[in-house]
Amino acid sequence: MTKRILHIGVGNFFRAHMADYTQIEGNWSILGVSLRSAAIRDGLSKQNYDYTLSVRGDADKRITVLESVLVAPENKLSVITAVADAETHIVSLTVTEKGYTLTSDNLLDLNNLEILEDLKTDQPKTAIGFLAYGLVRRKTPLTVLSCDNLSHNGDILSRAVRDFAEAAELEIDWTKVSFPNSMVDRITPAATHDLMDATGDIMAVATEPFSEWVIEDRFVGPRPNWANVQFVEDVSPHEQRKLRMLNGAHSFLAYAGILAGYEFVHQAVSDAELRLQAHGLMREAAQTLQGVTEEETEVYASALLKRFKNPDLKHRLRQIAMDGSLKIPHRWCNSIRELSANRKAGPYLKLALIRWTEFCVEEVAQKYVLQDLQAEEINAAVRSQNPYESLLELVGIEASVLDNV
């Protein structure tokens, strides 16, 4: 009998990663949820919710695991009902860092306007609100699985939903809910018209052959036997390696590459100086990782540089550069603090922060619209008496800490 996953956030990464794993498993289906737009639902519904996954460097495949997509603003009760439905065994999320509505210290932002609205009604807008109101109605065990690039993503999500429930005075049986941590990895650029033309599918998604998924084995109900997924006791070593090395180097290439006039990742990493700097950043970040050898991290870094050089992916630097103020604390700042505390050098990580500040200054100077949740704060920082220190303050790190690396 087919079991159901409810997935919130049906963008390209979910369709290249979790949907692909689930189709291979074969005994589960997915009901999707779009929190904002009907565009993905409208496009997929015209083709029976099937779409082409274009694996660059490998054969294309047809993904057929989606049942349908609920558009939350059209019928909020349907999403809450789906969370509570006993036929839903897992609720998973790919809503990006900003979708968790967190403060800079990863707590639920109770001053966020949408969260404030959600606390006053059972007709929410946010992922946190939908989870909380759905869990109130839930009678059977449920696993809530974050698939976003946040360190300790399950723990952070659990705390956010609990804080929301407490503030809204909701009664939830927490003994029946689990929030495993996970680490996901598959480079997935935004779709292009060239991809649609090549596949004949307006809903096609491009991705790379490589894919990785590590999940804390803490499910309170059935789980798929996803092929090639690592179920482990502790995800931390895997997520830190990915966040600090892969995501850290990606963000560096985004800001430094844009400043150098490049458009795509493969162009930036083909620049000998930028490649050397990205490799140096990964080596510095590797010194903060636990349970891995220098040889293992060097092999991983070399493999990442090879993945970045794939010219078929057409991964835009500006896609990676979005929401930098939310990403940088996880991707660079934690590594910098640990290096500083251990009196180790980190010139390339320091350079990455400098390039981000230069990127912000240049974007404001060119009067571009910043694609960042803290765009107003960035604009104000750039116009302050000391833009460099003001921007560093936005990502939670002091200039004095940088002086020690």
Amino acid at 97: E
Q: What's the pLDDT at 114?
A: 97
Q: What's the pLDDT at 398?
A: 85
Cα separation, 46 vs 44, in Å, equals 5
Cα separation, 333 vs 315, in Å, equals 24
Average pLDDT taken over every residue of the chain: 95
> What residues does 88 pair with on adjacent strands?
4
Cα separation, 315 vs 317, in Å, equals 6
Amino acid at 390: S
How long, in residues, is the chain?
Answer: 405
Cα separation, 360 vs 379, in Å, equals 8
Q: What's the pLDDT at 1?
A: 66
112-114-120 Cα angle (round to 5): 105
Residue 378 in tokens: 């960035």
Cα separation, 94 vs 298, in Å, equals 29
Residue 262 in tokens: 């490049």
Q: Are 315 and 269 in contact (CB under 8 A)?
A: no
What are the 10-residue block averages of pLDDT along the chain, 405 residues in total?
92 97 92 97 97 92 97 97 97 96 92 96 96 97 96 96 98 97 96 93 96 97 95 94 97 98 98 98 96 93 96 94 95 94 94 98 95 95 95 90 82
Q: What's the pLDDT at 176?
A: 97
Percent of residues, the chain, with pLDDT higher than 90: 92
Cα separation, 73 vs 70, in Å, equals 9
Q: What's the pLDDT at 156?
A: 97
Q: For the segment 4-55, what is each residue's pLDDT rounded down to a tens digit?
A: 999 999 999 999 999 999 998 889 999 999 999 999 999 999 999 999 999 9
Sign of CA dihedral 64, 67, 68, 69: negative
Among 383, 388, 267, smallest CA distance to 320 is for 267
